Amino acid sequence: MDERDEKERTFTLPSADTEPEGEPPSLPAEEVRAILEALIFASPQPITPREVAKVLAGMSRERWQAALQELRADYARDGRGLQLVEVAGGWQITTRPEYNDWVRELLDPKAPTRLSIQALETLAVIAYKQPVTLPEIIELRGVKSGGVLKTLLEKRLIRIVGRKEVVGRPMLYGTTKQFLLHFGLKDLGELPKVEEFAEVLGEEVDVAGLKRAIEAPRPVEVPLGEQDPADQQLSLDTTRSEGSPEDLK
């Protein structure tokens, strides 16, 4: 056999330490937790499972989820000023509620941080009855709420989700992702009982009145197509007075 044939038959066996192509290097559990902590901290919004899976491509979902639960348990220990919470469809590191007053004093001690009682009660009605219209809110609460809705829209706690197919086609309102973040909710399914939510809103909230408003049936409205011609102009004027979605954004 000549030298050329010998070279053609020579090949290199893969090393036992070589990682299979396309597979990530094996990371210790402590490093996986550290990576997750860094990702959650750096994300401006709650980081979603899809985003985590994209960054940790190649790592099994079971592995990083187990590391996430270990990290969450670590943050749950007594004496920590931060907590790892599942909120708005993702995970976020936040300050503990019992230290919010101290953090608020650092960030902006002069800025008003609390909504008015009227705004909080209106927000609660929207949260539990959504999608809901302004006439329904007024009927349920017994007070005018147009100005309050504008405030809640500006704070991005509620949004316009459409128009109701009844006479006048009033706008429908619902809560936003910012609402979930504000109250630390994973989704709307985590809304507590009305009495418990009222306690979160504050001692000044009329708990009994709020419960009656939320549990009351919706006002009866006339579906489109059943309106008398004489009432059509009045409905049009009412819609105009309420404003357009663009006006309230």
Per residue in 149-173, pLDDT (tens digit) is 888 998 889 999 998 887 778 899 9
pLDDT cut 90: percent of the chain above it: 8
Q: Which fold has domain 26-98?
A: Arc Repressor Mutant, subunit A (1.10.10)
Whole-number pLDDT of residue 220: 63
Q: Residue 172, SS3?
A: strand
Can you tell me the distance from the alpha carbon of 28 to that of 201, in angstroms, rounded to the nearest whole number?
44
Residue 160: CB atoms within 10 A of its CB come to 17
The secondary structure of residue 171, as a DSSP letter, is E
Which residues sit opposite 158 in a β-bridge? 175
Q: What is the pLDDT of residue 24?
A: 52
For tokens 């419960």, name the residue: 211
Task: Enumerate the domain spans of the chain.
Answer: 26-98, 117-224
Of 8-12, 21-25, 35-39, 216-220, the range with the lowest mean pLDDT is: 8-12
Q: What is the pTM of this model?
A: 0.52
* Record: fold of 117-224: Arc Repressor Mutant, subunit A (1.10.10)
pLDDT of 111 reads 52
Q: Do domains 26-98 and 117-224 have the same CATH topology?
A: yes
